[in-house]
Amino acid sequence: MFDLGHVPQLTDFDSLLNLLAFCNLLVMANVLDFRTYEKSPRESDSVKHDTNAIPAKERYEMAYARGRCWEIILWVFHVYEVFDKETGEAIEGFTKVAMSYLAHLGSTIIEFKRRSVESHMDDEESLFTVKDLARQFRLCFQFYNDIPTIQQADKKGVASLDFPERDRYGLRASVSSVPFKCKHVP
């Protein structure tokens, strides 16, 4: 279908989910790095200024990787479309799959933290609280306003990081003839 060598071959919905899982890991890098919850050695009010113990160079690298992942995700939904297997109808993949999956992962990770505190495997005096974790997710998704709404609606499957309803969808090449413009390529 597409012979780009270094680009993963997306052959089915599971291969799309694999790519999204990788991108989601990089999008959430700050949230998942324990140093995010440690105070900056140079800043007295880490919360007010959103500073932490991650060195500035690494924070920039994480931000760059996050931006590139967003571009990959946008590209994927430009050249492929997700469809409902039952109806054959295409769905809006970026929102209904990519954003929903990211929101689901965020909800599930927050729920895991909440459960670990409730079961006393973790306590509120640990490096970070449920509130700290939720705040970092909000900061991570601040430019995608529908993520918190999707997270609130995500009541199914919070015991699993797997994409809910993964068997419902399929993947096929898009019929779009409009070229995709990557902002990093002249």
At 165 the pLDDT is 86
Going by the DSSP 8-state scheme, the letter that residue 35 receives in this structure is G
Give the pair of three-digit tokens for residue 25.
Answer: 């890991």
At 19 the pLDDT is 95
Cβ proximity of 85 and 79 under 8 Å: no
Kindly tell me the burial class for residue 51, based on how many C-beta atoms sit within 10 Å of its own C-beta (0-12, 13-18, 19 or more).
middle
At 157 the pLDDT is 45
At 43 the pLDDT is 57
At 148 the pLDDT is 54
Instruction: Spell out, as residue ranges, where the chain has pLDDT lower than 50.
Output: 1-2, 45-47, 156-157, 185-186
